Chains A and B, each alone.
Chain A
Amino acid sequence: MKEERDSAGRTVPIREGLFAVPGEKPERPYLLGSRCRRCGSVYFPRRAVCANCLGETMEEIPLSRRGRLYTYTIVRYPAPGLRAPYAVGYVDLPEGVRVFSVLTGWDDENLGLGIDMELVVERFGEDAEGNEVQTYKFRPLQG
C-alpha cells in the first residue's frame, strides 16, 4: 500500500522509456528510439536486441518530433475502459519508423493521409492510484 500523499495527483507516463519531456518551455517532447551500433537499424519502442542483426549494443536516440500520417481511424466503439470517440493512427518518422499513436487536435475535417504531424505529450487517463497517466500523441502540424 502506497501512502496517499506519495501518489495522489502525480503524473506518470503510460509506460517508462517511451518519451522524454525536456524542462524548457515551450515543451518539445520527443520519442526515445534505439539505434543498433552494429547495423544502424532504428526502433521504437526501444529494444535490447536488434531484430535485424541480433546486435546487443543499442544506443538510445531521440526521434524526430515531426512525421507524416500514414493512416488513421476515428474509433467510435472503444477498447474496454476508454471513451469514444478517439483517433489513432500510424505516423512515419524520418528515421524510418512507423509509430502507432493516439491522435489529438483533430476534428472531422483536418486529418488526411500524408499530412504533417507533430508530437505532444498529453493526458491519457487515470491510474488506480489517482495519478494522471500521460502518453505521447501526434497532432496535425499547426501553422
Chain B
Amino acid sequence: MGDVCVIGVGMTRFGKFPERTLTDLALEALLNAGRDAGVDLKRIQAAFVGHVRQAGQGAMLGQRIMRDIGVTGIPVLNVENICSSGSSAVWCARGLISSGQFDLVAVVGVEQLSILGKGVIPPRREDLEGLQGMTLPAYFAMVARRHMYEYGTTLEQLAKVSVKNHKNGCLNPYAQYRREITLEQIENSAMVADPLTVLHCSPTGDGAAAAIICSEKVARKYTATPVRIAASVLTSGTYNGNWRDLTTNDQTKRAAGQAYETSGIGPEDLDLIELHDCFTIAEVTHYENLGLCRQGDGGALIDQGATELTGKIPVNPSGGLLAKGHPLGATGVAQIVEIVWQLRGEAGDRQVPGARTGLAHCLGGVIDGLDLGACTVHILKK
C-alpha cells in the first residue's frame, strides 16, 4: 500500500466578504486546487466538505458545490467538527484512500462568518456552560489565568504570539490581516474577557481552502514530487467527570503522540508547524502539548524566539488563525495548503528554507465536561 498524497491545493484570500456566497468561495478554492494539481475535476471520485453551518445555512453544501462544477453522482460527505471540520474532511479523505476505496478525492473547507454580524460565535444553549454565559474567549481567558498562575507565564509572553503571527501574516497575500502590531497596541486594545484583549483573539471571517488528495499511484501521473500524508489522526475529548485541567489539552497530546508514532517523525524532526492559535494562550499551551517543550515552558519558548519564522521551529508561518484569519470550516484545510506550499518551496517571503516536514494541528469545540470537542493532527512530508 503506497502513501496518500496531496497533489493540488488552493484557497481564497481570507477576510470579510459578505457580498459573496458559500458556494462561490468554495468553488474559487476548489478550482484553484484543481488547476494546481493539473487534474480534470471530472475525475474526482468523492468529495468531503468541511463546514460548520453557522446561522442555519449550508445544508448539503458539498453537493451544491459539486453540482456547480458538474461533478455529480459521486459520494459527497458534509463534515462538521466545529473548528476541525476542514481537517476532519482531510482525515476522511486520507482514510478512505488509504483503505483502497478511492484514488482521487477533493476536500474543501469553507465558512462565511461575516454574515453573522459582529461578536463572539454564539455558544450552544444545550450546554449548561453556554447557557450561563460561557464564550470561547471566556474559556481561553480562564485557561490563560490558570497557566499564568501555575507556571508564571506572563501576559507579555502571550502577546508576543500575536506580534509574531501578525508579522508572518504580513508576508501572506491570503491573510485577512496584513499589518504588524505592537505589544502596546495589544495591551491597549479592547478587553474581551480578562486578561485577553481583542488582539489576543483570532478574528471571525470568510474564506475557503481546498486540496486534491490521491493515492501514490495516481499522484505519480501528475507529479514527480508529491507531498505525502505521513500521519492523519483524529481524537475527541476525554470526559473526566468535570475535572478538566485547563492548562493542558489531553486530546492534542494523544493526537500528536499517535501521529509521531505512526509516522516515525518526532517533534524534533519537524521543519514547521501550523497550529490552532484561536487565542494567544492556545498557541503557548500547544507548544507544550505537541512536545516542543516541557509542560509550563511554552512562555519561555516564545521568549527565546524559537517559533519565529527564523527560529528553530517556525510556528504558524502563514500568520495562523490570529492574522491569516479563522473561517471555521476552512481553517483545517488552509493549514494543509500552507504546509504543501512550504514543502514545495512556494511560500514566497515566508518560506522556511529547506522545509521537508510539517505538522498541522486543529482543535475545536468547547463542550461541557470534555477537554474539547475534536482534534486533528496531520504530518506532511516531501
Interface residues of A (CB under 8 A from B): 14-15, 18, 41-45, 51-52, 70-80, 82, 86, 88-90, 96-102, 113, 124, 135
Contact = CB atoms under 8 A, between A and B. Distances in A.
Nearest to A86: B133
B193 A77 contact: yes
A113 B144 CA distance: 12
B132 A97 contact: no
Contacts of B133: 75, 78-79, 82, 86, 88, 102
Contacts of B145: 71-73, 113
Interface stretch (B135-143, B228-236, B350-358): B135-143
Contacts of A78: 133, 135
A77 B142 contact: no
B130 interface: yes
Contacts of A100: 128-129, 132, 134, 242, 368
B149 A113 contact: yes
Interface of B: 119-120, 122-123, 128-135, 137-138, 141-143, 145-146, 149, 190-196, 198, 239, 241-244, 246, 368
B241 A79 contact: no
**8 nearest CB pairs, A to B:** A73-B141, A71-B146, A71-B142, A77-B192, A73-B193, A76-B191, A100-B129, A113-B149
Nearest to B132: A102
A74 B194 contact: yes
Q: Is chain A's binding surface mostly helix, strand, loop or mixed? A: strand
Nearest to A133: B131
B122 A80 contact: yes
5 contacts: A73-B193, A73-B194, A73-B196, A77-B190, A100-B129
A77 B119 contact: yes
Contacts of B241: 41-43, 51-52, 96-97
B243 A98 contact: yes
Nearest to A73: B141
B141 to A, nearest CB: 4
Nearest to A42: B241
B242 A98 contact: yes
Contacts of B190: 76-77
Nearest to B122: A80
B215 to A, nearest CB: 40
Contacts of A44: 242
B135 A77 contact: yes
A92 to B, nearest CB: 8
